[in-house]
């Protein structure tokens, strides 16, 4: 009996070591392409939450050979999609910890509804916006871009606060997004940001003016706020629309 129990523990220990070896191999640049592919397959066959979570870490490695890197990530996507909706907890956990969210969202689009995908993007975006100790503007930029091809009434309200983000790239992407998803209330906050004393980025000001023009909003009620920023490139026509000269 004692030997049987010891053997059971030894078996568990061997399985644990095998799992850890595969997980380490998967994210090592020192491993061969074929070995990482085999590690992906072996982890997929384990079919556990822990193994699936380990698989998602492959997104955080960029191997030196672009062709191999793409092949491994394509294979990862194929294996995950085959598992269906049960991979969603692992995807959400990955999105919380990693800046690499584009490929996970692409995978999610194949196993979840469009509404669930938007919910996930907005969830992670809100979480990034609430961070105080760690600033990752590139992740917020990516998330905002991932919303541009989505149709969902929640996007405007969720994106609007990022028009006041500390990072100018985030503010730029927010202006671009609001020109696609916004309404008259978005016009008002865009004008307010353009005329804000703290907006010192010419790139962001240009993006806001472009957004106001593309959306074809009536800005006649904002002539006073807009006038100092029009320069020689922009004008407000007789219909109240902003246009480039």
Predicted pLDDT of residue 133:
61
**SS3 readout for 213-239:** HHCCCECHHHHHHHHHHHCCCEEECCC
Q: 């100092």: which residue's tokens?
A: 228
Average pLDDT for 78-106: 97
Of 245, 188, 177, 176, which is closest to residue 222 (Cα–Cα)? 188
- CA 215, CA 117: separation in Å to the nearest integer? 25
Check whether 149 has a pLDDT greater than 60: yes
Residue 245 has pLDDT above 90, yes or no: no
Q: Does residue 212 register a pLDDT over 50?
A: yes
Q: Are the beta carbons of 212 and 219 closer than 8 angstroms?
A: yes
pLDDT for residue 113: 96
Give the pLDDT of residue 183.
81
Dist CA 96 CA 110 (whole Å): 20
Question: pLDDT band at 4, cuts 50/70/90?
Answer: very low
- Single out the residue of 44, 102, 100 nearest to residue 75, CA to CA: 44
Residue 16, H or E segment: helix 2-26
Place of tokens 């309404």: 183
Question: What is the pLDDT, as a whole number, of residue 19?
Answer: 86
For tokens 């995950």, the residue is: 80
Work out the number of other CB atoms within 10 angstroms of the CB of residue 172.
Answer: 23
**Quick check: 108 and 117 in contact, CB under 8 A?**
yes
DSSP per-residue string spanning 63-131:
-SSHHHHHHHHHHHHHHHHHHGGGGHHHHHHHHHH-S--HHHHHHHHHHS-HHHHHHHHHHHHHHHHT-
Distance CA(159)–CA(177), nearest Å, equals 8
More confident residue, 10 or 226: 226
Question: Which pTM does this prediction carry?
Answer: 0.88
* Rounded Cα distance, 170 and 141, in Å: 5
3-state secondary structure at position 244: strand
H or E segment at 172? Answer: helix 168-181
């Amino acid at each position: 009996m004692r030997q049987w129990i010891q053997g059971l523990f030894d078996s568990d220990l061997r399985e644990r070591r095998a799992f850890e070896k595969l997980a380490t191999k998967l994210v090592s640049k020192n491993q061969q392409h074929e070995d990482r592919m085999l590690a992906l397959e072996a982890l997929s066959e384990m079919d556990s939450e822990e193994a699936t979570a380990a698989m998602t870490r492959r997104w955080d490695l960029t191997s030196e050979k672009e062709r191999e890197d793409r092949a491994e990530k394509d294979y990862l996507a194929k294996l995950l999609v085959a598992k269906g909706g049960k991979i969603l907890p692992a995807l959400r956990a990955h999105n919380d910890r990693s800046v690499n969210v584009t490929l996970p969202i692409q995978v999610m689009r194949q196993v979840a509804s469009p509404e669930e995908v938007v919910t996930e993007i907005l969830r992670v975006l809100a979480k990034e916006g609430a961070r105080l100790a760690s600033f990752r503007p590139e992740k917020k930029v990516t998330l905002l871009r991932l919303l541009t091809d989505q149709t969902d009434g929640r996007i405007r309200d969720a994106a609007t606060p990022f028009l006041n983000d500390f990072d100018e790239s985030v503010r730029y992407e927010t202006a671009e997004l609001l020109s696609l998803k916004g309404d008259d209330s978005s016009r008002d906050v865009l004008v307010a940001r353009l005329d804000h004393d703290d907006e010192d980025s010419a790139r962001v000001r240009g993006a806001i003016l472009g957004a106001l023009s593309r959306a074809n909003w009536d800005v006649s009620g904002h002539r006073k706020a807009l006038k100092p920023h029009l320069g020689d490139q922009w004008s407000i026509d007789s219909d109240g629309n902003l246009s480039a000269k």
